[in-house]
Amino acid sequence: MWLLGYPEAALADADQALKDAREIGQAATLMHALNHTTMFVHIPCGSYRAAKAALQEVIALADEKGALFWNVVGTMNEACVLSLTGKAQDAIQMFTSGIGAYRSTGATIWRPLHLSHLARAYAELGQFDDAWSCICEAMTTLKTTKEKWLEAEAYRMAGEIARLAPEHDAAKAEAYFERALAVARAQQAKSWELRAAMSMARLWRDQGKRDEARDLLAPVYGWFTEGFDTLDLKEAKALLEQLTS
């Protein structure tokens, strides 16, 4: 539901899923519910405290049950939270220490997500060669595993790296943002579209194209009917106010 542009509905579904999982009383079901509500609801909505609490519960339960896969996934997703909350160095350390264990499970699912967040952390620290390496691997993995739900966000992250890198390749950034917008629109993933529109709007704002930036972002933001207390919608509103002032 979050991907489709309904954050409040997604949060309500997450609460119900966790309630049902706890009532069922099976550890595997609860770890699955905790992880998925974190990945697809709490983290995207910017509810990082709830995400961290859920992931710590996943890891503790996985330790208790000897569930290596869920332990590693919980740890990698906790690193995603660190990358989003200004703890880039800690995120990199957690990602790199967990990669070996993750590969030992034989899993490939969510690898593009983890690589995208690792790329974000490297970029935040100014380590752009490492950031490019990670995001390129993420996009290659997307093509081979067909894990298409993250495709728009991976392209957007590549554009952000191009925008923020010292060489500041605006044309490259714009091309990635255009690709992210096209993928999000084709998938009807309104939340990814909003993020891509914000990234493009910031690029155009910095180029002095404020009217174009506003005209791109305003209709995407205007489509939403709920979730205005979530992080992305707050940032979109603030950006629009800046572009119209």
Given a cut of 90, whether residue 209 has pLDDT beyond it is yes
Q: How far is it, in rounded angstroms, from Cα 94 to Cα 154? A: 20
Q: What is the pLDDT of residue 167?
A: 85
Could you please report the per-residue DSSP string of 167-192? T--HHHHHHHHHHHHHHHHHHT-HHH
The pair of structure tokens assigned to 132 is: 């490019």
Give the C-alpha distances (Å, rounded to integers) separating 186 from 56, 182, 190, 219.
35, 6, 10, 17
Q: What is the pLDDT of residue 245?
A: 82
145, 109 contact by CB (below 8 A):
yes
Percent of the chain scoring above 90 in pLDDT: 93
Tally of CA atoms within 13 A in the half-sphere of 67 that contains its CB: 19
pTM: 0.95
Mean pLDDT on 17-36: 96
Confidence tier at 200 by pLDDT (50, 70, 90): very high
Percent of the chain scoring above 70 in pLDDT: 100
* Segment 57-61 long-range contacts (CB within 8 Å, at least 24 positions apart): 58/31, 58/34, 61/27, 61/30, 61/31, 61/34
- Tell me which of 42-56, 60-74, 99-113, 129-143 is least confident: 99-113
Q: What is the pLDDT of residue 227?
A: 95
Q: What is the pLDDT of residue 103?
A: 85
Given a cut of 90, whether residue 243 has pLDDT beyond it is yes
Q: How far is it, in rounded angstroms, from Cα 75 to Cα 113? A: 13
Mean pLDDT on 24-41: 96
pLDDT digits (tens, 9 = 90+) for 115-172: 999 999 999 999 999 999 999 999 999 999 999 999 999 999 999 999 999 988 999 9
Given a cut of 90, whether residue 215 has pLDDT beyond it is yes
